[in-house]
Structure 1
Amino acid sequence: MNIIDKISLIAEKDDLNKRIDVFLASELDYTRSYLKKLILEGLVIVNGSIIKPNYKLKENDVVNVTIPEAEKIDIIPENIPLDIIYEDNDIIVVNKPKGMVVHPAPGNYSGTLVNALLYHCKNLSGINGELRPGIVHRLDKDTSGVMVVAKNDKAHINLSNQIKERTILKKYIAIVEGVIKDDEGKIEAPIGRHPIDRKKMAITNDGRYALTLYKVLERYKNNSFIEATIKTGRTHQIRVHMAYIGHPIVGDEVYGFKKQKFNLLGQALHSRLLGLIHPAKNIYMEFEAPIPYYFEKLINILKNK
Structure 2
Amino acid sequence: MFLYEINENHVTIEELLRNHWRLGKKLVHELRMAKAITLANDELIQWNTPLQAGSIIKVAFSIPTSNYKPTPICAIDVVYEDDHCLIVSKPKGMSTHPNDARDTHTCMNHVMAHIKEQGGIYAEHIHRLDKGTQGLLLVAKHPLAKSIFDRMIEEKSIIRMYAAEVQGNIRGASGTISEPIGKDRHHATKRVVSKSGQHAVTHYEVVARYKNSCVVHLILETGRTHQIRVHLAYIGHPIIGDTMYGARVTASDDYELHAIQLEFDHPFLNKRIIVKDKQ
Using structure 1 for the length normalisation, give the TM-score: 0.65
2:262 alignment counterpart: 274
1:67 alignment counterpart: none
Please state how far the C-alpha of 1:78 moved relative to its aligned partner.
3.2
Aligned equivalent of 1:217, options 207, 215, 221: 207
- Counterpart CA distance in 1 for 2:204 and 2:154 is 21
Please state how far the C-alpha of 1:251 moved relative to its aligned partner.
2.1
Change (3 A) 1:232 1:255: same
Is the aligned partner of 1:144 residue 2:134? yes
Q: Tell me, what secondary structure is at the counterpart of 1:121?
A: helix
* CA-to-aligned-CA distance 1:102-134 (integer Å, 9 cap, x gap): 111138512211111111103364xxxxxxx51
Is the aligned partner of 1:83 residue 2:73? no
In structure 2, stretches of 5+ residues that fail to align are 1-25, 27-66
2:271 alignment counterpart: 283
Q: Tell me, what secondary structure is at the counterpart of 1:251?
A: coil
2:34 alignment counterpart: none
Q: Give the alignment of 1:217-236 within 5 angstroms.
A: 217-236=207-226
Which stretches of structure 1, 4 residues or more, deviate above 4 A after TM superposition?
none
Percent pairwise identity: 36
In structure 1, stretches of 5+ residues that fail to align are 1-47, 49-72, 126-132, 292-305
2:191 alignment counterpart: 201
Change (3 A) 1:180 1:191: same
- Counterpart CA distance in 2 for 1:208 and 1:74 is 29
Aligned equivalent of 1:97, options 91, 95, 98: 91
Is the aligned partner of 1:134 residue 2:134? no
- Counterpart CA distance in 2 for 1:202 and 1:192 is 6
Please state how far the C-alpha of 1:195 moved relative to its aligned partner.
2.3
1:238 alignment counterpart: 228
Please state how far the C-alpha of 1:238 moved relative to its aligned partner.
0.6
Cα RMSD for the two superposed structures: 2.0
- Counterpart CA distance in 2 for 1:282 and 1:161 is 17
Mapped contact 2:87–2:139 kept (Cα < 8 A): yes
Is the aligned partner of 1:248 residue 2:259? no
Change (3 A) 1:149 1:225: same
Please state how far the C-alpha of 1:166 moved relative to its aligned partner.
1.0
Please state how far the C-alpha of 1:136 moved relative to its aligned partner.
1.1
Mapped contact 2:162–2:260 kept (Cα < 8 A): yes
Alignment coverage as a number of residue pairs: 211
Please state how far the C-alpha of 1:100 moved relative to its aligned partner.
1.4
Change (3 A) 1:210 1:106: same
- Counterpart CA distance in 2 for 1:78 and 1:242 is 39
Q: Tell me, what secondary structure is at the counterpart of 1:209?
A: coil
Mapped contact 1:173–1:272 kept (Cα < 8 A): yes
2:169 alignment counterpart: 179
Change (3 A) 1:212 1:218: same
Please state how far the C-alpha of 1:86 moved relative to its aligned partner.
0.9
- Counterpart CA distance in 2 for 1:225 and 1:182 is 13
* CA-to-aligned-CA distance 1:252-293 (integer Å, 9 cap, x gap): 232232x41231x532111111111223223221110021xx
* CA-to-aligned-CA distance 1:34-82 (integer Å, 9 cap, x gap): xxxxxxxxxxxxxx9xxxxxxxxxxxxxxxxxxxxxxxx9834331412
Change (3 A) 1:224 1:262: farther
- Counterpart CA distance in 2 for 1:113 and 1:74 is 10
- Computing the radius of gyration from Cα coordinates, the structure with the larger value is 2
Q: Tell me, what secondary structure is at the counterpart of 2:125?
A: coil
Using structure 2 for the length normalisation, give the TM-score: 0.70
